[in-house]
Structure 1
Amino acid sequence: MPNPFRLHAAALTATAVVLSALLWGCGGDSPEDEDLPDQKLSWKDCPAPSEAEGGGTAPSPLPDGAAWQCATMRAPLDWDDPKGDTIDLALIRARASGDADRRIGSLVFNFGGPGGSGVTTLPAFGQDYDNLRTRYDLVSFDPRGVGRSAPVECLDDKQLDTYFQQDATPDDAAERTELLDNTEKFNAACEKNSKKVLPHVATTDAARDMDLLRQVLGDDKLHYFGISYGTELGGVYAHLFPKTVGRAVFDAVVDPTQSSEQGSLGQAKGFQLALDNYAEDCVSKVEDCPVGDSAQDVKDRIARLLKDLDRKPIPGVFPRELTQTAATSGIAQALYSKDFWEYLTEGLDQAYAGDGRVLMVLSDSLNGRNENGEYSNITAANVAINCADDKPRYDSAYVERRLPEFRKASALFGDYLAWSMISCTDWPVAGAADHPDVSAPGAPPILVIGNTGDPATPYEGAGRMADALGKGVGVELTYKGQGHGAYDSKNKCVRDAVDGYLLDGRVPAAGTVCS
């Protein structure tokens, strides 16, 4: 199984609609091919998202009537052979709303994953960044391998339905063999359907694409807002191109010092912390918590539910059943945002009564499945990019030896995250490194924001990112909150700090704390 817990919760907006209806009835080189930086983008009205981007309708205008525009940019398939084959990268933008003489440039967003479509996510959250649009064009893109940008393709929709129904936490030899066989089939399908692109979807490739994008947009500096995995991409960019870094913000920060195993273990602890906080919050309400009498009772009942589902799944979204694995991923998706804790309570309450629809809708959102049964390519891209980046390859014997520590970190999520480490076993492309290099001597200040209650990118990673960027580069800000990320919490202190830096160049004092 891939590790979808790394995904940014960009799909929550669409999920809310479905749930509401259900509940209420060192300096790299610039491109050597001279025509690539000089290409002219043809901006047009945006089409409806492709299936690989998640489907749906074309983005609606912003509240002030500003239209979203889309274009494609040509980039080398192989950055080691920039005069060779090229690929098209999908772009989206909204023009700056303020006076032209106050416009700073473009602000490029990456919302995470890896594997998330920026072309669909930016308009979904566009009005949240409206203040930043007063001085920037808001720009995002589908990174290579994602959405409409040479997407990695593995299993089809029907096969993915079956794949996500499997038991991802094997209890015996037969279940372990089945999980390994399914992983092998998934990886073989990726190689069969996407062999040409798989060697070229690493984060370093995407970082080089961003520098090309900077040039094509006509900007001397890359002004950047990275969220979740987008912080890792931003750190790699800063390492490769420190002299062209502009004003940059990293929110929901990936720890760049960790191996993939350490990252998974950190997530086990992070999601357990979020579950603990959810349980405490539920029982602290004025009204009774419908899923437990105490915080420990809430967690004990969830554990019993998952154990029961392992033996006998319950009806989910017809004709599929809610399995132990689907319930686990559905719970994780709800923990990404405190705004979704109410859906977790409703989903658990219904599951205890034998109805698994809400938890399955949450699980589907995490896996990139829409209500029509179509999957985006977020899972395929997530695996391909992670496996291109991460050098370690773990086998089942290694996972079994590590299970006790993962279970100690989280009785609920430990097994799932431990077994997710086999995703890259026998992957056809070698991984690049044990962890990314983000050292960026000579870069200007980069604002690094850590959320103390973040489940997917635990808080400690922000400090390590700030340190790894280097003295005078990483500037850490702490947000004492819940959920994945800080800026989208709408906390005024965080918003003022980020907007003040991006709009006016005011760097917050290192160690600033917002609550």
Structure 2
Amino acid sequence: MLGAVLDALRPFAVAACSAALALSGCSQPAAPAVVPQQPAPASELTRFYDQQLSWGPCVDYASTPADRASFDDEALQCARLEVPLDYAAPEGRTAQVAVLRHRATGDRIGSLLVNPGGPGASGMSLGATMSRRLAKSPLSERFDVVGFDPRGVGASTPTIDCLNDAEWEVERADLDIDPSPEGVAQTEAENQQYAQRCTERSGGADVLANAGTRDVVRDVDILRQVLGDQKLTYLGYSYGTRIGSAYAEAYPQNVRALVLDGALDPEQTTVQRTVDQSAGFQQAFDAFAADCAKEPNCPLGQDPARATANFQAITRPLMDRPAPADGGARTLSYPDAVTGTIQALYLSDFWPLLTRGLSTLASGDGTILMRLADMYNDRDPDGHYGNGIEAFVAISCVDEERITDRGEQAELIRRSNEMAPFRDDGHGVVAALDPCAFWPAPPTSEPHVPQVEGLPPTLTVSVTGDPATPYQAGVDLAKALSGSLLSVEGAQHTAALQGNTCVDDIVSAYLIDLRLPPEGARCSLAPTPGR
């Protein structure tokens, strides 16, 4: 059911553990920008900009066992920011944005807001992780590290909710591979039901109508002022780069520094981004297969040219006979086998695990690929699903261009399968309209070149072998913002502040001192450990 939507865009930040390699050149100071005086907020929003946050312990904000353990830290503080649900009617319903911070330990510059992408991933979780990762970094001395769950996500309310845990298990086993008119009609009926459930369970059509990036950036500006920051300092990964570039366009005069890692090209159409991302994952699959082929027991064989066919031979039988997982307690479906593979392709450090997963699947055990698919689908070990995927769909449906023509949908799926044949099920194109075609609210964004007059220098980070947000998108975003580009040689999704000294030193110098790298700066990530 959700495949067509999830194919459109599902990048999120994955923590890397790559070692440092070489830095290309020295840093240079950024040229000062002439920035217009910051305007006062509209009078009807004054009460939101003037609010005081009530900070307290974070444990009660946790929505997963992992977050509960992570948030149980006296150094972390949490609060809820009140914002209008609909900025066109600020006197009406409100939403609450959950916020987490770790206070600066030294001479404070301000707040560093972080977002992990998705859309739908928890910024509070990233904030807690980042505060530990940067514990001995100059960044933790100079900045309050602040993570927030965008409206509808995680601990923020109203929370986007579409499926219960039992319905999620059914959804993951649903093949949707029948291209006949009857099969298309059945899939579309499921997608229409999904949109109806999201509307009913999330609090109404107005919640879904105002869930997009257009509204998130206005929340961010309120949060900036409530935190006491005259200017925004921001690090966004993946979809978080869309938040950053949209904020730059809406409030260029309020920007101090933006690091955008794993970029989405704001000018690119949804169709083209989907096709390019498909090609990116096939490129990552091919790189994985070539690496795997060096091992005598590679489940895809020693000829990388045969890897796609061998992968299909291992996974396609699951359409008729799902594999046992977790000792027989669960079963691995074909969609989950592909999803688990895609999850592992985000980061080359996962390649050895993917090799083992495919080997054990060939022997009849789907446990490893099931666990990887659980990670992607936001399922915890107790069988509870977070709302990351549901929020992803809801936000995408108002952020992305909508396809309501089956012919156009069929062409998109055909081109995507052509670009990523490893995940082609072999049954032909199912030209069913996805849930967004039945969404109760129109899109609130469209592709365009950002208008950012007065924006200070920004830093875009782009990894050459990024499967989810291809390298060229970072080149294009840096150009659109008239900012600097840091190219990173590697095979993973995003790289900033993830342990690579070359990358981290450049990013830190920019965030602290507004010092940009020289034109053409490059870093390299270490090869996969154990290879």
The residue number in structure 2 matching 1:139 is: 146
Measure, in 2, the Cα distance between the counterparts of 1:383 and 1:156: 15
Measure, in 2, the Cα distance between the counterparts of 1:29 and 1:510: 36
Equivalences for residues 298-309 of structure 1 within 5 A = 298-309=307-318
The residue number in structure 1 matching 2:237 is: 227
Measure, in 1, the Cα distance between the counterparts of 2:125 and 2:273: 27
Q: Is the 8 A contact 1:28 1:240 kept in 2?
A: no
The residue number in structure 2 matching 1:406 is: 416
Residue of 18, 25, 49 corresponding to 1:37: 49
> Offset of 1:298 from its aligned partner?
3.3
TM-score by length of 1: 0.89
What is the identity, as a one-letter code, of the residue corresponding to 2:184? R
Aligned length: 492
> Offset of 1:380 from its aligned partner?
1.3
> Offset of 1:505 from its aligned partner?
1.6
Q: Is the 8 A contact 2:80 2:96 kept in 1?
A: yes
The residue number in structure 2 matching 1:127 is: 132
Measure, in 2, the Cα distance between the counterparts of 1:144 and 1:171: 37
The residue number in structure 2 matching 1:118 is: 123
Equivalences for residues 200-219 of structure 1 within 5 A = 200-219=210-229
Match status 1:451 vs 2:463? yes
User: Which range moves more in the overlay, 313-322 or 79-88?
Assistant: 313-322
What is the identity, as a one-letter code, of the residue corresponding to 1:407? N
Match status 1:57 vs 2:57? no
Structure 1 unaligned spans of 5+: 14-25
Q: Deviations over 1:209-250 (max 9, x none)?
A: 000000000000000000000000000000000001111100
The residue number in structure 1 matching 2:520 is: 511
Structure 2 unaligned spans of 5+: 17-35, 525-531
The residue number in structure 1 matching 2:396 is: 386
The residue number in structure 1 matching 2:305 is: 296
Residue of 349, 358, 375 corresponding to 2:359: 349
User: Which range moves more in the overlay, 152-161 or 318-327?
Assistant: 318-327
Q: Secondary structure at the match of 2:49?
A: coil
> Offset of 1:370 from its aligned partner?
0.9
User: Which range moves more in the overlay, 365-374 or 162-171?
Assistant: 162-171
Q: Deviations over 1:61-85 (max 9, x none)?
A: 77xxx61111111111111122322
Residue of 348, 373, 393 corresponding to 1:363: 373
Q: Deviations over 1:233-269 (max 9, x none)?
A: 0000000000011111000111212122211111100
Q: Is the 8 A contact 2:98 2:155 kept in 1?
A: yes
Measure, in 2, the Cα distance between the counterparts of 1:140 and 1:447: 20
Q: Is the 8 A contact 1:313 1:323 kept in 2?
A: yes
Q: Is the 8 A contact 2:12 2:119 kept in 1?
A: no
Measure, in 1, the Cα distance between the counterparts of 2:256 and 2:513: 12
Q: Is the 8 A contact 1:54 1:369 kept in 2?
A: no
Q: Secondary structure at the match of 2:46?
A: coil
TM-aligned CA distance change 1:35 to 1:60, over 3 Å:
closer
Residue of 237, 243, 246 corresponding to 2:253: 243
Measure, in 1, the Cα distance between the counterparts of 2:259 and 2:425: 33
Match status 1:315 vs 2:313? no
Residue of 495, 500, 509 corresponding to 1:491: 500
Q: Secondary structure at the match of 2:462?
A: strand
| Higher RCO (CA-CA < 8 Å; seq separation 6+) | 2
Q: Is the 8 A contact 2:113 2:147 kept in 1?
A: yes
Residue of 469, 481, 488 corresponding to 1:479: 488
The residue number in structure 2 matching 1:95 is: 103
> Offset of 1:478 from its aligned partner?
0.6
Q: Is the 8 A contact 2:161 2:198 kept in 1?
A: yes
What is the identity, as a one-letter code, of the residue corresponding to 1:485? T
> Offset of 1:306 from its aligned partner?
2.4
> Offset of 1:420 from its aligned partner?
9.3
Identical pairs, percent: 35
